[in-house]
Amino acid sequence: MRNFTNTFIKSLKPKLIRYEEYEGKGFGIRITPNGTKTWIYRYKLNEKTEKLTLGHFPNMSLAEAKKQFLELSELRMTGANPKTNLQAKEEEIAEEKTTVQDLILHWYGNYIAKHRKQPLQIKQHINADIIPLLGDRAIEELQPKEITKALDKIVNRGSPVHANKVLSTIKQAFNYAVSRGEILINPAANIRARDIGGLEKPRDRYLSLEEIKALWLFLDSDKNEISLQVKNGIKLILLTGVRTGELRVATWKEFDFEQSLWTIPASHTKTGLIMHVHLTDMVKTLLEELYNSETNNYVISGADGLNPLTDKAIPRAVLRIQERVSIPHWTAHDLRRTFATQLGETLQVDPVIIEKCLGHKMPKIMATYNKNEMLPQRKDALERWSSLILSLIEMP
């Protein structure tokens, strides 16, 4: 037995079998063949020798280990069992630890819900992926490899792009915690999207006129097996070029049928600006069909008839359509690209007018000096686009 010093502890070398060194009164350290050094407290209870693990050197210093040993030995002198006390303390500490779920829900409620115009996508990431995969992990103990393994599960189910979006959400939440001093480092900071879901190349897919005709005729056939809400939703996106999210949350009070105008409030647009969309006769016919079938304020309601259509409904319908129509792979967002591309290539619409139709923010200088919404030009472009589609589907 000897008095422990940092120099002595550091000098202890591993042997073929594990061994222990003691300072006295049961305070000791165990050294394993792989070099792990563990502080221990050995004592007797009811004539039986007990051993408690206090921590590992150097994560737990000699001073910290000695302090804990003295507290437990004093407790032992009262007749109590140090092991029971230590377990109770560990449970108390575990209860006090902030979990990923605690942090991310706090971030969502105090930042995202208050400052993001469209927070629902983030909410989906949290509920569907982050909490189920990482929610119960303590923030202080979370390692980057645990995050990557969780993201790999999303990739392995065939959703690499979604995995990258979830990674982005995780990084934002942890950055928020770092900025508030709740954690020192962001455990996801060095995880790159390219190493999770891979590099995301900009898509250039759009439907040709022949593909538009084939899709439209399929939707009008008795073989589509798609709800009126989803079927008309696909057509409306193609005819107007609006974002899927803008259509999903649209309510009837946004539409003025007499003026043939849809006014999308700033809270529903990606840019945070009010957007006006001209309603052609084809569009109004589709809306009237929906109006006659709906019983609530949403233009396109979900399966429950009360809430808006979920953001996955149209993408899933598009996947089902591809299995039954001979059109190469395309996505719901490609409908918006189709609208923009065909307006430019087929109808020769001015690019600035197309950008206005899409509801894009103009470059800073243009936005400052040109407040003109170009509604007459946009109306003309949408009317010509509807006429083109009508001629396509009526063509033998």
Q: Are 106 and 98 in contact (CB under 8 A)?
A: no
pLDDT in tens, 256-290: 999 999 999 988 887 778 899 999 999 999 999 99
For 42-76, give the DSSP string.
EEEETTEEEEEEEEEETTS-HHHHHHHHHHHHHHH
Helices of type H across 135-280: 144-156, 160-179, 209-220, 228-240, 244-248
Rg (CA), the chain: 32
- Of the pLDDT bands very low, low, confident and very high (cuts 50, 70, 90), residue 96 is low
What is the rounded CA–CA span in Å between residue 176 and residue 178? 5
pLDDT in tens, 125-177: 998 899 999 998 888 889 999 999 999 998 887 788 889 999 999 999 999 99
Residue 151's nearest CA partner among 139, 159, 141, 143 is 159
Identity of the amino acid at 23: E
Residue-level pLDDT at 364: 55
Mean pLDDT estimate for the chain: 86
Q: Which residue segments constitute the domains of the chain, with CATH numbers given? A: 6-95 (3.30.160.390), 100-195 (1.10.150.130), 209-394 (1.10.443.10)
pLDDT in tens, 210-250: 999 999 999 999 888 888 999 999 999 999 999 988 998 89
Report the b/e string of 123-137 with b at 16+ CB within 10 A. Answer: bbbbeebbbebbbeb
103 or 364, which is more confident? 103
What is the rounded CA–CA span in Å between residue 137 and residue 133? 9
